[in-house]
Structure 1
Amino acid sequence: MTDGQAFRYDGKRVVVVGGATGMGAAATRTAAGLGAEVVVLDRAPVDYPVAQFLQVDLGDRKQIDATLDELDGPVDALFSAAGMAAGPAVMRVNFIGHRHIIERMVAEKTLAAGSAICLISSVAGLGWQNHLPTLVEFLATPDFESADSWVSAHEGTNSYMFSKQVINAYVAREAYPLLSKGVRINAICPGPTDTPLAQANSWLGFDKQYREATGTTPLLAEQMGDVMVFLNSPAASGISGVSLLVDSGHVMASIGGSWEAGRPVIEFLMTQNAI
């Protein structure tokens, strides 16, 4: 297409898990502005207009199933945006619940051929390839309960960092089996972004020196939402299995050596990020 229609969502139905605030809300607004009918699933209420809102706690598998039972008709794009920084439910909310939603929607063909999925990972998930055997072992758990039990049995895995490494591994590994069903899957890996979650956890200091040197401002939720909407659009039909860095070039400049000040922390994330 050469008229820009591949970027639009006219006639498409999308589901945003975690669309009440932050990057999920930004993706919701962008998709709706491009013509989508948007259904939001979230624990928190939505304070702006959407086609449908369904309340759900991703830490509770029964709630997830009851919510999915209320979804009628096909879904063209799924945005898995809900997340938390820490706490007893961090793996359930950041990944296990999302995987359960994806697998049920694919199995029931709610997400059918031609649809797409986008999750939110993080630069905190860098270096996942160094832990692939452990990640594959976890991903081999067949359902919500067994995944939760695996985490309980493996010290240090109920963490934000592990959840983001898992997302990157999951996206890479699911690229082939999902595409064989006509479904694409990708993720974004945001750098520190000015959202309520980042502010509450003081994450914006991570790239402050880089931003000052490049004259850039903190990344915004809208920038992340726009990239997610692109990845789930027909315009990105050739992209799958990718966890895309959205960090103003901080990580690549550090790896490439042009931003030497960033090398130590990026090398730590890439090579020494032990699970």
Structure 2
Amino acid sequence: MSAIDKFRYDGRRVLVVGGATGMGAAAAHLVKDLGAEVTVMDNAPVDYATDRVVPMDLRDPDSIDAAVDALAGPVHAVFAAAGIADGPDMMRANFIGHRHLLERLLAAGKLPRGAAICFISSVAGMGWENNLPVVLEFLDTPDYAAAHAWVQERESTGAMHYGFSKQAINAYVATRAYRLLEKGIRINAICPGPTDTPLARANADSWLTFAQDYRDATGAALHVPEQMGNAMVFLNSAAASGVSGITLIVDSGHAMSSLTGAYAPGKPLMDIITGRVPLG
């Protein structure tokens, strides 16, 4: 395989979960251009040309099961891109449904050796290591119903927020890497900073203003979905064959500059996000 071929997807079947818009759509377009056969699963309409669209609702395990049953194998790369900002369905849409889908793909033998998985997490999920006992308790739930019940028991505490859903993704990637690699499968995630997507625009006051001071200071532009698609497509490509179990921060250096104090104005908020300093 040539150096260029390692970045391509010729002959590979790709599944994009949540590919109707935003980062998922960007990844779908890019892998298609790189030679992949692309299936998009989403609860929203997909208004661009792709090889196949399978309607699927991550909030409904029966819908997930039906979608997996309808999917021809093998699947060589999965992009777990769907997510919502808040509400009672958030944990199911952001993590529980994705986990169920992946476990169903594995059980059906549709993820062969050499396959790769990439989640979209978030900078908001940083600091999961500082919340590890709680996150691991959640990950220990054996199935969709148990995970949903675990969340429902804690919703009144305010602990089931967007950041926790992304902490769950980051910890899942870290804890599943070993067992999946035994099957020859890699798993990673990206942690985007503020990115101009439909979801971000719907929450613009909090999402798109985050790190604006850093962007002003450095001249960095607000991220666009294609930048996140590039990172995801790299992680699921043969060019990243040695990479697994990592959460790649894609934010023009804001998080690390802030945590280290190299960018001092960002440190207080980043310390709170990562759990170094308790909120309040």
User: Fold match, TM over 0.5?
Assistant: yes
**CA–CA distance in 1 between the matches of 2:223 and 2:158?**
29
Which whole-Å deviations, capped at 9, do the CAs of 1:237-268 have from their partners, x for residues lacking one? 00000011000000111122221111111111
Gaps of 5+ in 1: none
**CA–CA distance in 1 between the matches of 2:15 and 2:227?**
19
Which whole-Å deviations, capped at 9, do the CAs of 1:193-228 have from their partners, x for residues lacking one? 011111111211101111111111100000001100
1-10 or 237-246, which deviates more = 1-10
Q: Offset of 1:72 from its aligned partner?
A: 1.1
Which whole-Å deviations, capped at 9, do the CAs of 1:126-173 have from their partners, x for residues lacking one? 111011011111100010000000001123343211100100100000
Over 3 Å off, 4+ runs: none
1:222 aligns with 2:226: yes
On the 8 A contact 1:178/1:185 being kept in 2, the answer is: yes
Q: TM-score, normalised by structure 1?
A: 0.97
253-262 or 30-39, which deviates more = 253-262
State the one-letter code of the partner of 1:143.
D
State the one-letter code of the partner of 1:192.
P
1:109 aligns with 2:109: yes
**CA–CA distance in 2 between the matches of 1:170 and 1:52?**
28
Higher strand share: 1
Residues 9-48 of structure 1 correspond to what in structure 2 (within 5 A)? 9-48=9-48
**CA–CA distance in 2 between the matches of 1:116 and 1:244?**
15
State the one-letter code of the partner of 1:161.
G
Residues 1-275 of structure 1 correspond to what in structure 2 (within 5 A)? 1-154=1-154, 155-202=157-204, 203-270=207-274, 271-272=276-277
**How much identity, in percent, do the aligned residues show?**
58
**CA–CA distance in 2 between the matches of 1:145 and 1:21?**
28
CA RMSD of aligned residues (A): 1.0
**CA–CA distance in 1 between the matches of 2:90 and 2:159?**
10
Residue 82 of structure 1: SS of its match in structure 2?
coil
Gaps of 5+ in 2: none
